[in-house]
Amino acid sequence: MKHIIGAFALCLTLLSVPAWSQGPIEQRMTNLPTVHIHILDGTEVTSKTTYKWASMEIVDDDGEVSFDSVQIRGRGNSTWNMKKKPYRLKFPKKQRLLGPERANAKSWTLLANAGDKTMMRNALASDLGELLGLTFNPGARFVDLTMNGTYRGTYQISDQVNVNRLRVNITEQKYRVTNPQANVSGGYLMEVGTDGGEVFRTSRGVRIRVYDPEDSIGTLQRNYIRNYVQTFEDALFGKDFADVKKGWKQYVDTVSLVNLYLANEIAANADGFYSTYFYKEKDDPLFYWGPLWDFDIAFNNCGRLGDVTESLMIDRGFGDDLMKRWLHQMWKTPWFARYVIRRYEEVYNDGLDAKMLAHIDYYEDLLRQSAQKNYQVWGISTRADEEIVLFSTYKEYVDYVREFVPKHNAWLLQKFRTMEPQEPTKPFEVDTNYVYKFYNKGVPTSIIGVNGENAAVGLYASVSENEEQQWEIIPFRDYLLLKNRRTGLMLTDTESKTQLEQRYFVATSKRQLWEMVPQSNGYYNLKNVASGRIVNNSNGRSTDGNPILVLDSSDRDATSENRLWRIVKDGDKWKPVDVGIHSAEAEVDYALTYNRNTQRVRFLAADVSELTFQADIHDLHGRLMARFAAREGYDASVLPAGTYVVSWHFAGRRHSGKFIKH
């Protein structure tokens, strides 16, 4: 399994420590590190704005590390009102609390995860952000916490969202700018949502908070970023909004936007579009989206919404007058909708379920001991916030998330596909200089291929430069022949069978002739000329070798994903695929001959078994008349009198010759 971001896998000896000891306790409580905080005046932290002075110790595998002159205050919005409180830490010097590969910073958070009985939802969301490729994802180091000698439960040390080389890596504006000639184009860290600090509203009422620069922001900086956000919003709702050059696309980094959007939908984060971070770098025209934050009511854990297994957060989540106002307009943009759908299909087919479930397993194992001690204090079957369901064991809460993930992911796949904008597909035009692959819409990473010369045609996971999955599309008699690059055989709809086969070319057979029937959004049906049947991926399965069938045409041709194919160029058909083979072929001496008496075309060589290629015979109008295996030759007596061109591909090059039949 890949490394889980920000988590520390610790296998340590459990020390016996009284849960409610008074005074400093520089000992381990479970397999997790233990953090001991001692408030200087011995009182509780009661304010989200006023810091208290404290000392702090972390006891872990490496022993004990002490910190003096630490400041601590409360943090959070609704979470601050819970009994188990979250905190903000500030150190006099920069610290690496999450290890050498993470941020070196003064500000850190202690998340209580009080409303999440698994205590892993925020960490799981960060892992999801990494899986999707977001630039910065807050870390997660789980610890046991004591304060003033009293055990407080399981906590999560995490990054504070701020400007930092290993957090939001943008130019920091440390001073108020007063020079009108100064460059104030960045950096800016902002949030769509929360009140407080430097806040402005767009003309459509969307609330924006500027996090950085905050204390030092001046009129020039404030006016610049407000106007730039407004320019983006005006383009988003303007008459040319869908135009890739004139519309809103010119102001956003599409990759981070789509990945952040998908993270919130995959996690079913009710707060994802109520509070959304984004930022702008100096001298960069684009807004970038992230980091992810605040997922404690995600993964089906929001009582106000109820079960969201089959729900989109763009529909049911909070923030109708915030990020959702922008997203609904974005979804009206065809290129954005297609990007979201294609990206989700890519992530889903790359093992999304398995990867997420592996992370859940990891955290369950990591937190099991600490969770048991935590819920001796806070009560495992007591509702702390908006939990939809209450259980009596920690495992039941984890299983609840474990069951939700694959169900919701599968539903999203089908839901997104129904949201794909419908646009007509252009009639197919073949470029005979290239070979092609046929991708199935229902299984987007799989294609039509073969497995050996005599094997039936099946669906296979796409492999780069695999000749068995590449097809030459050859115009013939107003229709198309589909020739497998490896075998040289033709895709054939046999009269007696429903499964496609590959066979030697027969000039008179209409069962080797095909039409590419345009449907919508760049997809086609492959329709056989003789039978009128449609190529279909049997039962929509993705297993390698799954049969490719031909079924009677019906009104499902345009809607069944098993019948829809994307036709993609896969390289120059004359380009060598295996240099080693071609080098060996170059040593073979052979010659093309035509015997006028026997009317036979054949290749001569010391060992004809070395001639593994197929040869094509065209008339002078370019029409394909025949195809034969070089080692077998061809009886040209069936051809009318005339001049013919024989062409073949061998030793990495294309070759040709002529013969005249009288």
Distances (CA, A) of 96 to 28, 91, 189, 224: 20, 11, 22, 34
Q: Contact, 314 vs 416, CB < 8 A?
A: no
Residue 6: its pLDDT value, please? Answer: 38
Query: Confidence class of residue 456 from pLDDT cuts 50, 70 and 90?
Result: confident
Percentage of the chain beyond pLDDT 90 is 73
pTM beyond cutoff 0.75: no
Beta strands in 213-355 (DSSP E): 276-280, 287-289
Here the tokens at position 472 are 């030459």
Instruction: Name the residue with tokens 């290629």.
Output: 613
Query: Confidence class of residue 20 from pLDDT cuts 50, 70 and 90?
Result: very low
Using CB atoms within 10 Å of the CB of residue 114, give its burial: 0 to 12 exposed, 13 to 18 middle, 19+ buried: buried
Q: Mean pLDDT, to the nearest integer, of 204-216?
A: 90
Please choose, from the candidates 497, 467, 476, 421, the residue with its C-alpha nearest in 3D space to the C-alpha of residue 578.
Answer: 467
Minimum mean pLDDT range among 5-9, 97-101, 221-225, 423-427: 5-9
Please choose, from the candidates 557, 500, 553, the residue with its C-alpha nearest in 3D space to the C-alpha of residue 524.
Answer: 557
Residue 143: its pLDDT value, please? Answer: 98
Residue 13: its pLDDT value, please? Answer: 28
Q: Mean pLDDT, to the nearest integer, of 156-172?
A: 95
Here the tokens at position 150 are 């009293």
Residue 3: its pLDDT value, please? Answer: 35
Residue 329: its pLDDT value, please? Answer: 97
| Residue 499 in this model has a pLDDT that exceeds 60 | yes
Pairing, β 52-60 against β 63-74? antiparallel
Q: Which residue has the higher pLDDT, 615 or 354?
A: 354
pLDDT tens string 314-330: 999 999 999 999 999 99
Query: Confidence class of residue 578 from pLDDT cuts 50, 70 and 90?
Result: very low
Cα 435 from Cα 473, distance rounded (Å)? 7
Minimum mean pLDDT range among 206-215, 233-242, 271-280: 206-215
Query: Confidence class of residue 284 from pLDDT cuts 50, 70 and 90?
Result: very high
Assign 156 to helix, strand or coil: strand
Q: Mean pLDDT, to the nearest integer, of 268-293?
A: 97
Q: Mean pLDDT, to the nearest integer, of 507-518?
A: 94
Percentage of the chain beyond pLDDT 70 is 92
Q: Average per-residue pLDDT in the chain?
A: 90
Query: Confidence class of residue 18 from pLDDT cuts 50, 70 and 90?
Result: very low
Query: Confidence class of residue 7 from pLDDT cuts 50, 70 and 90?
Result: very low
Q: Contact, 525 vs 505, CB < 8 A?
A: no
Q: Mean pLDDT, to the nearest integer, of 100-123?
A: 97
pLDDT tens string 581-592: 344 445 677 888
Q: Contact, 647 vs 654, CB < 8 A?
A: yes
